[in-house]
A and B are shown apart, each in its own frame.
Chain A
Amino acid sequence: MKKVLSSDTIRLLIPALSLTVLLISVFYLQPRAMSYVGLNLLFNLAVPIALATIAQMLIMTVNDLDLSMGTFVSFVACVAATFLEATPVIGVLVLAAAIATYAALGVLIHVRNLPSIVVTLGMSFVWGGLAVLILPAPGGEAPGWVRAVMISRPPFVPMAIIACVIIAVVSHFVIMRSSFGVILRGVGGNARSVERAGWSILGARATTYALAAFFAILAGISLVGLTTSADANIALRYTLLSIAGVILGGGEFTGGRVSPVGAVIGALTLTLAGSFLSFLRISPDWQIGAQGAILIVVLGLRLLLNRLENRGKRS
């Protein structure tokens, strides 16, 4: 038993387990959710959250934190609903410029040795301001192809679940299996030794930020595909949701210890927690609070399991 389960697997076990328990309770409360349409409805909004969580996880891999995630996803949603729909060429250029900005932020943070929290805090004002300039009032329209992808109905398995699996697999290979991912996690674990081994930390950080921006852009576009129109404040809660998703999925703030599959599961758990509470008919006053309580319970379980694991090692 002990040999089969590595400590990384155990880290993944708790998020997976809590997701299963939540899913079973939802099915128990509302058996009709156990269908193609039901599952799609339950997990639809999880796709953009999962993408944003992966983006946040990339930043956290190099020991930084992005407090502008929510405003950036909102900004992308506004761009997608306006430029990308009306003039695709300009839209792509704007998004490319956004990726370049993120890479430049990575360079700036590294070269000047700045706290990422403050720089991204400042950027959150900038993205918010740009979003307000693009869309002063809620509106715009999702590009037709995005809408088509998001509401497409592949046979047997709903789109939302296929998308989440693809996100998990792709990011798993990028972070856990590629040599780039190893360097990335190395920068989080011990930047100095990675540098001594001859890798450019500056390059690694810039690439990480650019890649995170790419995932966040996908999050914004898929969000617009679901909501059909955008608003400058559409995704503000994604900042905290994405951080919570990474932690829930077994990631750590420092040391480059992250898990892409866990992060996607964490995002799914957070999404499902909302539906679970509305099925329980909890008063809307307490919905947010109960979400906090679920977060606490899951993290408490993780502590318990870590204790058991340590005890197992000692004996």
Chain B
Amino acid sequence: MNILASLSRKPWIWSFVAAFVVWIATILFTGGASTIGLSQAALTFAAFSILVGIGQMFVITLGPGNIDLCVPATMTLAGTVALKFMQVDNSLILPGLVVAIAIGVAVGMGNYALIKLLQIPPIIATLSMSFIVQSTAIWTNRGLRIKPPEALAKFTTETTVGIPNVALVALILSVLAFILLQKTIYGRWIAAIGQSIRAARMAGIPVDGTRFITYVLCSALAAICGYLLASFSGGAALNMGSEYLLMSIAVVVIGGTAVAGGNSNVAGIWGASLFMFLVVSMLNTYGAGAGIRLIMTGVIIIAVIVVAGGRNPNQR
């Protein structure tokens, strides 16, 4: 009983419970026929939300008003340029990844430069930046669909011991993010800044440096996600990031990270990402149309936040 009680106090547990319930509901409907297929698909698609979600979580932890709207544009640009650079050549896979990450880092630096130098609220700064990045992506892409190198496409679509490779990548990066957040001084710093930026500054925390690194980290993760997603779906498309704008924010909040900042958790993002994918596939199995599916998704997001959101009445 004690274990149950302490588990129910963990902010991330609800997203896993919800994901599990939806998983069971879907499997019962199909009579267990699709268990493995559904689980693998869920892990694969959740992996992409997890990657952008972790980056967004770091930014949201910085406190009210901090949010990165540039994520979709960064994903598209990184995916496009990296695929173009690799030229379907297997030997250029690693340099391609480096190119993608470099683009992410550059976008992140641009974002923070706008926030700091022009003192623009992060929402507007990253929004303006996303317009510019999006234009650059349109300019480089020119509507062509460039194929990924064969080995990379194979890697992103295949499984190792039954687990999709992209999910393994997401797992490794999540563990790194967890260590970064919980065990390093940097993790303590961003939590402190999120709780009170004034107090953090007075305590001698390098506020600017920490925020700078956080925005760069978020863009870099978005770039890695764009690189993998473009390879997974057989080429970069200009609209490939668009659904990840709302998704990246939704998984962070459903996962139990405080929107007011200063408190975050990595595990919840996994539960929330699986949950978001499973809800859509459950409604698909039940044969719901696009309209009903959207409405149900929205209602479920609100229901989760209403049930889980009342934990801490003093936080907004």
Contacts and interface: CB of A to CB of B under 8 A. Distances in A.
Contacts of A28: none
Nearest to B302: A122
Contact of A293 (B124, B132, B292): B132
A29 interface: no
A113 B114 CA distance: 32
Interface in A246-292: 247, 252-254, 283, 285-292
B269 interface: no
Given A125-B298, A296-B114, A132 B306 contact: no
Contacts of A108: 306
A100 B254 CA distance: 26
Nearest to A292: B131
B313 A121 contact: no
Most buried by A among B67, B135, B299: B135
A126 B298 contact: yes
Interface size on B, as a range, is 35 or more
Nearest to B294: A129
Contacts of A48: none
Nearest to B300: A122
B118 A299 contact: yes
B128 interface: yes
Interface string B100-143: 00000000000000100011110110011111111110110000
Given A118-B253, A292-B128, A296-B118, A136 B246 contact: no
Interface in A113-134: 113-115, 117-119, 121-133
Contacts of B136: 289
Nearest to B129: A292
B310 A113 contact: yes
A253 B123 contact: yes
A74 B294 CA distance: 14
A47 B192 CA distance: 44
A248 B118 CA distance: 13
A112 interface: yes
B187 interface: no
B298 A129 contact: yes
B173 interface: no
A122 B260 CA distance: 18
Given A113-B315, A121-B253, 18 more contacts: A113-B310, A117-B259, A118-B254, A118-B309, A119-B305, A121-B301, A122-B297, A122-B298, A122-B305, A124-B246, A126-B299, A130-B291, A131-B291, A244-B127, A254-B64, A288-B134, A289-B132, A295-B128
11 contacts: A119-B302, A121-B250, A121-B253, A129-B293, A129-B294, A131-B291, A132-B294, A247-B121, A283-B139, A288-B134, A289-B134
Interface of A: 67, 108, 112-115, 117-119, 121-133, 136, 240, 243-244, 247, 252-254, 283, 285-293, 295-296, 299-300, 303
The 3 closest A-B pairs by CB, nearest first: A289-B135, A292-B131, A129-B294
Interface of B: 64-65, 67, 69, 114, 118-121, 123-124, 127-136, 138-139, 246, 249-250, 253-254, 259-260, 289-302, 305-306, 309-310, 313, 315-316
